[in-house]
A and B are shown apart, each in its own frame.
Chain A
Amino acid sequence: MTPKQKATLQKLGPFIALVLVSVGLAVLSPDFLTVANLLNVMRQVSINALIAFGMTLVILLGGIDLSVGSILALSSVGIATLIQSGVNPMLATLLGVIGGGVMGLLNGLVVSKGKVAPFIATLASMTILRGLALVVSGGSPITGFNSDLFSMLGGGYVAGLVPIPVVWMLIMFGLFAFLLKKTVFGRHVYATGGNEEAARLSGVKVDQIKLWVYTVSGAMSAMAGVVLTSRLNSAQPTAGSGYELDAIAAVVLGGTSLTGGRGWIFGTLMGALLIGVLNNGLNLLGVSSFYQQVIKGVVILLAVLIDRSGKK
């Protein structure tokens, strides 16, 4: 095997893992390999995938964004409040996503201009934004929007078959893949994550790149919030807690390096799907939810260990 072939195989690792797990589940459970179930899995995965796409950019920069779950909650609650006060639901949605972007931008400012470590900066904003979500909602869920269009965003189907969140996920996947692979912005993200000093000396506007990346992560979290709120027909101030860990797990399973500069969006999609398929499969097999957590953790650990040994 040439080094190049080996590298390709390495890159496809997450995909191969997904196929293996799926085949295993298909053998074990007759209900797994049906169109309805697979679409259902994809719908469940979509929220995590949307967040994880943004998280991939952050991690490529060598950063981390712990505030995604809180951004999801605050923008959900914000959108719900706007709709109930009579604002056009589509306008409220747009404002919510922009609001999520602004929250991300603030993270970016603290990280790039304030030179605070991303872990600390987003740990702080995670707490602040969660608090604000509780303040805005008064601590209780906001329910009932009376907008068919808004409930389509997360609950609808295209051609009566494909869930709309899955469409969002695939559109965003294509957009992010293009962004990273084909644009100057994408190249600058890799360069900044790979060697910030060299990138700055090459004229890359490193601070601007960081601001954009955290902004995108915030907007993606808000988008996930829209899907969730629309589907549940309810905005909950406690929604999304712990989502940052699922997103980080998807990114890492996909082979993106936590030290930055190396990774790709396809891997993240595979990582998110792998987590989703496992959840679904274990449910179908009737494994207790306590054991499910154990198994998920072991799979993540194994995947990363295999990835490591391959790189040596």
Chain B
Amino acid sequence: MNVVMQGISKAFGPVRVLEQVDFAIAGGEIHALMGENGAGKSTLMKILSGVYRSDAGSIVIDGKPVDIRSTRQAEACGIAIIHQELNLIPQLSVMENLFLGREPSRFGVIDSACMRREAQAQLASLGAGNIDPEAEAGSLSIGQQQMVEIAKALAMDARLLIMDEPTAALTEREIDTLFGLMQALKARGVAIVYVSHRMEEIFRICDKISVLRDGRFVGERVIARTDFDEVVHMMVGREIGDRFPRRTVQPGAVRLQVDGLADEHHVRDISFAVRAGEVLGVAGLMGAGRSEILKTLFGLNRRTAGTVLLDGEAVSLHSPGAAIAAGLAFVTEDRKSQGLVLGMSLRENATLVHLPQYARLGVVSDAAEQQAVAGLIEQLRIRTRDAELEVKSLSGGNQQKVVFAKWLAQPPKVLLLDEPTRGVDVGGKAEIYHIINQLAAAGVAIVMVSSELPEVMAMSNRILVIHEGRQTGLFEAAEATQEGIMAAATGTAHAA
């Protein structure tokens, strides 16, 4: 099917989110939609899938103008959206989810046998026959849940699939499976809109790319005839310099030394040292235990073996409070559930960790707090009109900077980073890399877990690779290759 959106405009109150945007996609095409956070990608897709109505512009499907007024109508037109946060009901079984709202029934009694049969057939046709239709949806891995969502969309005859950051929570292997499925759907003539920040993936799987910037359509390119630099330039509208800014600082003395670390789950025998001014990258597959290492160091998970030396002295780090007192800081993986209190203001979030510093006898001094926050906003270049705004009103990149701000009110000795640029757009990423480099230059020892290999390879001095809770490689970044790291991460090689 051919979908053409033309001259789409949308405003929320006085804020113009989309202005005269064009977008076209044909059946059998995987089309990337890119743009920085706030560029209008999701609004455009919400208009296409019937969540919002556009103020102006037209949508034409297979030559016929359509007026999509609700998600139900979009479904009838064959348009389905797979959200980043999956929408399955975890307590219901796979087949109950698949047939939710259109259960096969006789006199109001559900025909389970029929439901099971059809669910099985649909999953098998997607190469996901290993998923048990009677399993609880919540017990499946994220990748499997996504398969079920896709099956659900196809069961409703979707011919245009919109996928919003589908790989954000997938393992490498699951991504491969997903891409295989996308290729198969493409061969069947399904059109796929692929919304993502991950450039490597877009260049791997997509045919075309459309770029939005500040609510306007910048251009469309054929993937084979463009490159990273052009796309980045289209997105940010200026040169951002290097994608990964250089760091010139020479690592100093060892700040953090970890020997034989183990936790109560599957982390065993982890040993490494990080110097002042050094970034130690930690690579590995999803679920390998990378985040658990950070959590154990930070006193969230119980350490069952091993010693930790900070500036040469043994520290116990039995709770987050103790870890913070010892000079550790932890930028967590998921800023919405772990990093920020979304209902609180930027100011209140930024001072959450070191609030007692601005207080006497437990009473907070407004002046001292506001002054400190103003300093952090300046230092981290957080873009906001007002420190009193709720933190959830900020863009992803600025929210992530607030998470950094929490820890920088008092310079840490060791900074633990877990996926520091997840969900942050290209421009925001470059700024966060700058912040990391500044901190390294100030003598902070940094441990950075990341699933984006190019990021790990470019930002680290050395790279520790984890496989099933154990370290399987430690590379000098200059000598590391993607293949070498992946081999260690999948446990198929034992590098030095």
Interface residues of chain A, those whose CB is within 8 Å of chain B, are: 182-185, 187-188, 190-191, 194-195, 197-205, 261-262
Contact = CB atoms under 8 A, between A and B. Distances in A.
B340 A184 contact: no
B482 interface: no
Interface residues of B, number: 26
A199 B352 contact: yes
B353 A202 contact: yes
Interface core residue of A195, A197, A205, A261 (most chain B CB under 10 Å): A195
Contact of B341 (A183, A185, A191, A205): A191
Interface in B362-386: 362-364
Contacts of A200: 300, 320
A199 B344 CA distance: 12
A73 to B, nearest CB: 33
B363 A202 contact: no
A203 B324 contact: yes
Given A185-B362, A187-B355, A203 B343 contact: no
Contacts of B338: 197-198, 201
B321 interface: yes
B359 A194 contact: no
B343 A194 contact: yes
A78 B28 CA distance: 79
B355 A198 contact: no
B342 A183 contact: no
Contacts, number: 69
A262 B342 CA distance: 11
B23 interface: no
B348 interface: yes
Interface in B277-323: 298, 300, 320-321, 323
B197 interface: no
20 contacts: A182-B363, A183-B362, A184-B355, A185-B362, A187-B348, A187-B364, A191-B348, A191-B352, A194-B342, A195-B337, A195-B340, A195-B343, A198-B338, A200-B300, A200-B320, A201-B300, A202-B352, A203-B320, A203-B323, A261-B343
Contacts of B342: 194-195
B337 to A, nearest CB: 6
Given A183-B359, A183-B362, A198 B343 contact: no
Contacts of B359: 183-184
A262 B352 contact: no
A201 B324 CA distance: 10
B321 A205 contact: yes
A182 B321 CA distance: 22
B356 interface: yes
A182 B342 CA distance: 20
Q: Which 5 pairs of residues, A with B, have the shortest CB-CB distance?
A: A194-B341, A203-B324, A195-B341, A202-B352, A194-B343
Nearest to A188: B355
Contacts of B343: 194-195, 261-262
Interface in B322-344: 323-324, 330, 332, 337-344
Contacts of A185: 362
B364 A204 contact: no
Q: Which of B300, B324, B332, B363 has the most CB of A within 10 A?
A: B363
Of A188, A198, A205, chain B has the most CB atoms within 10 Å of the CB of A198
Contacts of A195: 337, 340-343
Scoring A183, A195, A203 by chain B CB atoms within 10 A of each residue's CB, the highest score goes to A203
Contacts of A198: 332, 337-341, 352
Interface string B342-362: 111000100011011001001
B357 to A, nearest CB: 10
A186 B459 CA distance: 39
Nearest to B354: A203
B216 interface: no
A190 B347 CA distance: 13
B320 A201 contact: yes
B422 interface: no
Given A184-B356, A203-B320, A190 B337 contact: no
B406 interface: yes
A95 to B, nearest CB: 26
Contacts of A261: 341, 343-344
A183 B298 CA distance: 26
Contact of B344 (A183, A190, A201): A190
B288 to A, nearest CB: 21
Contacts of B353: 202-203
Contacts of B348: 187, 190-191
Given A199-B352, A203-B321, A204-B352, A190 B362 contact: no
Given A182-B364, A197-B337, 14 more contacts: A183-B364, A184-B355, A184-B359, A184-B362, A187-B355, A187-B364, A188-B355, A190-B348, A194-B341, A194-B342, A194-B344, A204-B352, A261-B341, A261-B344
Nearest to B388: A4
A176 to B, nearest CB: 14
A307 B342 CA distance: 20
Nearest to A206: B320
Given A184-B359, A185-B362, A190 B300 contact: no
Contacts of B339: 198, 201
A74 to B, nearest CB: 31
Contacts of A194: 341-344
A199 B341 contact: yes
Nearest to B386: A4
A188 to B, nearest CB: 8
A195 B348 CA distance: 13
A187 to B, nearest CB: 6
Which of A187, A188, A199, A202 has the largest count of B CB atoms less than 10 A from its CB? A202
Nearest to A186: B364
